[in-house]
Structure 1
Amino acid sequence: MELAKLPFYAKISCILISLICFGYIFYIGNDIITPVLMAFLFAILLVPIFTFLNTKLKLPRYFAAITCVLLFVAFILGILAFISYEVTDMANDFETIKKNANSFIIDIHKFIKAKFNISIWEQKRYIGNVAKDSVKNGSGTIGSAIMTISDLLLESTIIPIYIFLFLLYKDHFTLFLSKLINKENHSVLKDILSQIKISINNYIISLILEMVIVSVLTSFGLWIIGVKYFILLGLITGILNLIPYIGILIAGVITLLASLTGSGETSIILGILIVNIIVQLIDNNILVPLIINSKVEINAFVSIIGIIVGGASAGISGMFLAIPLLAILKIIFDRIESLEPWGYLLGNDMPKNFAWRIRKTRSQTK
């Protein structure tokens, strides 16, 4: 039975049940599915390089795929090596950080005492009680941290392998999809795959461009106010900015801690907050609409829900995957007649004369 011939309530029920099933499968199997999806996105980004090596330079598929993976790994390791070098250099200022941190904490204690009439002894007692509670739950926290680190190491090892396999068998997967679809729909399938490739490429390149601009702006702002290691902190801010919502908060905390390698003055801390706020205003109001939203036509409401659901299902990786997966769903929905309304729901199309459209639709139905 065709879906289009079912009653409206039956179609809605089938679609909702399918979404719930897919969501549940993703939730219980995110440890397996998430690395595969991450590798799929990066493999799409590397397809042009793979095609160039395989068709233009006549390299065998195995060597072309391995070369792409090695270039990808070298790029990631280069960034990590730079960050590690700068962090090691920053560790030499540990005593300065400790001294300025103590001075800063004393200033906070004095401020709370002056404004809220809470003695320093009471503040330290409260902090001590919180610390004791943390120690009691420390074993679970340490265990969770170890599991997180082990999962991260496993993903960093297996994702390059998945990328290699996706590149190696990309034509095999395409032929498999063509065998699932009737021949009269092959043109639609070809259009869907082509648009998915273009959309994902544009999205990832746009993210990299946004990361570079945010890094440069943050580094320049921190350099102006005299923060040490401004290049490292700008790069960390740009990378963490890729994580929606919480990334910039983590970057702000790291920058504040790093600022203690200098004088630790309150003016520097206020300057850091102002720089982060200005960069975020530029990012949210100029960079994201101009660079990201123009490449991925997903409305803000659906994006926020997708990011929240992705974060609840698979953590930071799920938040990162939410937008490209929604973009893929929109491309598929837009090209299947029975699912076209759902594609419109995900999209960012704002009708300028909605009332006129309603009247026109009603007149046509009469």
Structure 2
Amino acid sequence: MFNYIAQWYKEKFADPHAVTLFLFLSVCFAVLYFFSDLLMPIMVAIAIAFLLEQPVQRVAKFGLSRNKAVMVVMILFTVVALTAIFGLVPVLWQQTSNLVQEVPTMVGKGNNYLMTLPEQYPEIVNESQIDALIGSIKDKLLQWGQLILEFSVNSLSNVVALMVYLILVPIMVFFFLKDKDELLANAIRFLPKERRLTSQVGAEMHQQIHNYVRGKVLEILIIGIVSTVIFALLGLRFPVLLGSLVGFSVLVPYVGAAVVTVPVCLVGLFQWGFSAQFGYLVLWYGIIQAVDGNILVPFLFSEAVNLHPVAIIIAVIMFGGLWGFWGVFFAIPLATLVKAVINAWPSTTKSDDLILE
């Protein structure tokens, strides 16, 4: 048993470059796991700077220095962010408040409809089953109401944290872009010389993460805007709120689309009932999901490494549980990182031993 373990260790860790890669990944994981709350503003700033790096390079091609290109991109980014904060957020807040206020009315209509089921289908359901279902729904709504109240109270205490994000994150993004080469050079100095595999995996992941972040942001914007416009044209209530939910649902592949279908269909059902208008809503929503899955995703992520759906779901669950929203956002790149490390990890064979000797 011990000989087998020793042989396995020798095969997998005979290359010092592999040891460097293992230690580097272990330290990064440990730091993120134990200090993720403290480092989250820095991680957000790094993610935004990574996203803005390509626009900076494109602006610099017009003959501007890097510092001036960074200034131009940061000004444009600030204008877009402020427009979203002061233009979109109030609308979302208003529609969310209206929806919460109408929940009791929707629940009452749902209860009335459920109570008619025993009369219409006595061979399938009875009054006791309906009463149990209504009680379960009320308990769930009460739990959700408590969660919303706790979130509102916690939000008041997190105003200072929000101000920290709004002030410190843009400052860090600016310096990450401006002093990119100097910061990277200083970080590389702490790595051992035997870092061939680390550099190989890093170069591969740089391209993969860049493609993923760019594609995911575009996918969220396209699906969110298109959904909002279609919902508004159909006359659906709360179009901005529901369109935004559909847009952000693409963060969680497969699961997100299934979850967000519930509020979209419920709002349409309570608004129109089982009518032709509700059928049009379901049809257009199905078209949006089909276009996203069969046209938009293959086009935006054509250069991304293909992963099995089970691997994607497992990655979303694991990394989302570890790091919340950003864990979900980067679940696919992190899963790709695991796959790249496994593929790049050397295994010592007899031919390798001869070469090393």
Q: Which deviates further from its counterpart, 202-211 or 99-108? A: 99-108
Residue 318 (structure 1) shift: 0.6
The within-5 A match list for 1:134-153 is none
Alpha-carbon distance in 2 for matches of 1:184, 1:95: 58
TM-score w.r.t. length of structure 2? 0.67
Q: Which residue of 2 aligns with 1:160?
A: 170
- Which amino acid in 2 is paired with 1:238? G
Change in CA separation of 1:174 and 1:192 when aligned onto 2, cut-off 3 Å: farther
Is residue 9 of structure 2 the alignment partner of residue 9 of structure 1? yes
The correspondence for 1:41, drawn from 41, 47, 54, is 47
The within-5 A match list for 1:245-324 is 245=254, 247-248=256-257, 251-256=260-265, 259=268, 263-267=271-275, 268-269=277-278, 271-292=280-301, 294-300=302-308, 301-324=310-333
Q: Which deviates further from its counterpart, 205-214 or 272-281? A: 272-281
**Partner SS state of residue 241, structure 1:** helix
Residue 146 (structure 1) shift: 5.8
**Cα deviation code 1:304-351 (max 9, x no counterpart):** 3322211110112211022234445666776xx6x268xxxxxxxxxx
Change in CA separation of 1:318 and 1:108 when aligned onto 2, cut-off 3 Å: farther
Alpha-carbon distance in 1 for matches of 2:127, 2:81: 49
Identity of aligned residues (%): 20
Change in CA separation of 1:26 and 1:224 when aligned onto 2, cut-off 3 Å: same
Alpha-carbon distance in 2 for matches of 1:332, 1:95: 46
Q: Which residue of 2 aligns with 1:109?
A: 114
- Which amino acid in 1 is paired with 2:178? L
Alpha-carbon distance in 2 for matches of 1:36, 1:95: 34
- Which amino acid in 2 is paired with 1:8? W
**Cα deviation code 1:128-159 (max 9, x no counterpart):** 66667778889866666667777666545443
Alpha-carbon distance in 1 for matches of 2:264, 2:76: 30
Change in CA separation of 1:138 and 1:106 when aligned onto 2, cut-off 3 Å: closer
Q: Is the 8 A contact 2:252 2:316 kept in 1?
A: no
Q: Is the 8 A contact 2:96 2:241 kept in 1?
A: no
Q: Is the 8 A contact 1:240 1:248 kept in 2?
A: yes
TM-score w.r.t. length of structure 1? 0.66
Is residue 81 of structure 2 the alignment partner of residue 68 of structure 1? no
Residue 166 (structure 1) shift: 1.4
Q: Is the 8 A contact 1:34 1:318 kept in 2?
A: no
- Which amino acid in 2 is paired with 1:295? E
Alpha-carbon distance in 2 for matches of 1:107, 1:158: 52
Alpha-carbon distance in 2 for matches of 1:257, 1:225: 15
Q: Is the 8 A contact 1:298 1:326 kept in 2?
A: no
- Which amino acid in 2 is paired with 1:319? V
Structure 2: state its 5+ residue gaps.
Answer: 1-5, 14-18, 348-357
The within-5 A match list for 1:112-131 is 112-114=117-119, 115=121, 116-118=125-127
Alpha-carbon distance in 2 for matches of 1:95, 1:33: 34
- Which amino acid in 2 is paired with 1:37? M
Q: Which residue of 2 aligns with 1:363?
A: none
Is residue 213 of structure 2 the alignment partner of residue 204 of structure 1? yes
Is residue 223 of structure 2 the alignment partner of residue 214 of structure 1? yes
Q: Which residue of 1 aligns with 2:354?
A: none
Alpha-carbon distance in 1 for matches of 2:197, 2:25: 26
Higher RCO (C-alpha under 8 Å, 6+ residues apart): 2
Change in CA separation of 1:213 and 1:162 when aligned onto 2, cut-off 3 Å: same
Aligned residues: 329
Alpha-carbon distance in 1 for matches of 2:132, 2:195: 73
**Partner SS state of residue 79, structure 1:** helix
Q: Is the 8 A contact 1:215 1:235 kept in 2?
A: yes
**Cα deviation code 1:215-239 (max 9, x no counterpart):** 3553465357542454664344223
Root mean square deviation of aligned Cα: 4.7
**Cα deviation code 1:81-134 (max 9, x no counterpart):** 443454477589779946962563244333554452226766665556666777
Change in CA separation of 1:193 and 1:51 when aligned onto 2, cut-off 3 Å: farther
- Which amino acid in 2 is paired with 1:159? V
Alpha-carbon distance in 2 for matches of 1:258, 1:136: 22
Q: Is the 8 A contact 1:50 1:64 kept in 2?
A: yes
Q: Is the 8 A contact 1:54 1:64 kept in 2?
A: yes
**Cα deviation code 1:275-297 (max 9, x no counterpart):** 434433432344333422x2221
